[in-house]
A = this chain, B = another copy of it.
Amino acid sequence: MEVKERILAAAEGLFLQYGFRSISMDDIARHLAVSKKTIYQFFSDKDEIVCLVATRHFNREKELCKERIFDQAENAVHELLQVSRHIKTTTMNANPSIMFDLQKYHPKAWQIFKDFKLGFILQHLRRNLKQGIEEGLYRADINVEIIARLRLEQIQLAFDASAFPPTEFNFFDIQLEFLDHFIRGIVTEKGLQLLTEYKTKEHHHAQ
């Protein structure tokens, strides 16, 4: 791997584990056992590293979702469940402060996240809802645009420490409860049957 790539990969790991705020250029250099001067040969400051890490991360997410989920899902309900499972895996080891840090200290990278949200994720949700309606799994009378944005904001709401203080709530309990509630709010009877089947299977797998 070239040096620039190695620095970005290491920075991503450190940010994910400790948050953006608490990791300095010194920490990144120390972690890679290189001098700070080496790092400054490639990046002008920490903000630039954060933005590049964010861009890389979201591009990889797009690829992963397309290849492993969108192209393979059995139907709309299955796709939502798979996406949620994927979010669970990727955020499992993330520091809870990353969203807050990004918004507060790295507005440019926060904008990259917002573009990803309003672009890729919203597009996926719109498509999923339309597909589910066509498959007879979601009610035909839902307002696709409003419901897609409702789900979009719900995903982020689980990260909101003022609405869900981390001392009182477990992040994954919230995401699971939100997803289950969200799907039940849009399904037809046929869709609900399918949801129940998938959940029973998942439950058996987990045991």
Contact = CB atoms under 8 A, between A and B. Distances in A.
A202 to B, nearest CB: 15
Contact of A150 (B143, B145, B157, B168): B157
A186 interface: yes
A169 B168 CA distance: 34
Interface string A122-161: 0000000000000000000011011101101110010010
A60 interface: no
B174 A146 contact: yes
Contacts of A143: 173, 177
Given A173-B143, A184-B184, A184-B185, A178 B150 contact: yes
Contact of A153 (B149, B152, B157): B157
A174 B147 CA distance: 9
A182 interface: yes
